[in-house]
Amino acid sequence: MTATAPSPGTPTGPAHRAARRAAADRTAPVPPGPSTPAQPALTPEQARTARRGALSGLAATAAWVALGAESVVRGGEMHYRDALWTIPWTLTMITFAHLHVLQRRHNRWTAAAGGAVLVTMAMLLVGFSGLVLGVDRLAVLGFPLGALLWLVAMVPFGVATARAGVVPVRVGVALALLEPGSILTGLALSPIAGLHERGNFSGGLEKGLVVLVLATALGAAAGRAARHENP
């Protein structure tokens, strides 16, 4: 059998063969691989809940940043800040409540974790109100009891949030570390703002950042639902 010679002008050689192999690789089907599952689309009612949670979260972020920045800039122990603290705290509680409504049906453990956080937040709110009003019997609910319970309760709440899938895993991690991060932020800013038992909330800057992460995630979940409803 006689071999057929390449026609004149046909490119040959190693470079041409390598180019042909690269083109074949680009057109070959890619086998499916592992991927991160996307967050499920919410129902219209859940989307409204997520949107309201995002709005309250953005308001809480602004309040935390304002309180934290004022604590750093002016420094010192100012008791009027104890009253102002109730504003971002209540807004954060509302935001967490919306997240709880969205993910409580995931399992009983998730529902219990969210309920525990809301109860401890209510205790702290009552305790700080007692502190501001000078009612010692109420103030004890804030510190040390409420503060310690809040610190502990946020960890399972963050883990439950990461597992529920309503928001990305990173949001659950940020929630679990919210209070330790706030304490470390206060320590880091102590050369400027000082360390005080009350009346200074420089750690509120970190709380504002974490709540912003949550608010952004809730807004994104509501946006996915809107695109799913009106493609």
pLDDT digits (tens, 9 = 90+) for 48-107: 999 999 999 999 999 999 999 999 999 888 989 999 999 999 999 999 999 999 999 889
How many domains would you assign to the chain? Answer: 1
| 10 belongs to a structural domain | no
- Segment 171-181 shows an average pLDDT of 97
Structure tokens at 109: 């453990």
| 39 belongs to a structural domain | no
Indicate whether 23 pLDDT > 60.
no
pLDDT band, very low/low/confident/very high, at 194 (cuts 50, 70, 90)? confident
| 29 belongs to a structural domain | no
pLDDT of residue 211: 98
pLDDT of residue 144: 82
In whole angstroms, give the CA distance from residue 171 to residue 1: 70
**Choice between 226 and 34, residue whose per-residue pLDDT is larger:** 226
pLDDT band, very low/low/confident/very high, at 39 (cuts 50, 70, 90)? low
pLDDT band, very low/low/confident/very high, at 231 (cuts 50, 70, 90)? low
Smallest Cα–Cα separation from 171: which of 181, 161, 182, 160?
A: 161
**Choice between 42 and 210, residue whose per-residue pLDDT is larger:** 210
- Segment 10-34 shows an average pLDDT of 51
| 207 belongs to a structural domain | yes
Residue 179, classified by CB atoms within 10 Å of its CB into exposed (0-12), middle (13-18) or buried (19+), is buried
Full residue range of the structural domain in which residue 214 is found: 44-229
Q: Dmax of the chain from CA atoms?
A: 107
- Segment 165-180 shows an average pLDDT of 96
**Choice between 19 and 195, residue whose per-residue pLDDT is larger:** 195
| 23 belongs to a structural domain | no
| 196 belongs to a structural domain | yes
Average pLDDT for the chain = 85
| 17 belongs to a structural domain | no
Residue 141, classified by CB atoms within 10 Å of its CB into exposed (0-12), middle (13-18) or buried (19+), is buried
| 12 belongs to a structural domain | no
pLDDT of residue 32: 42
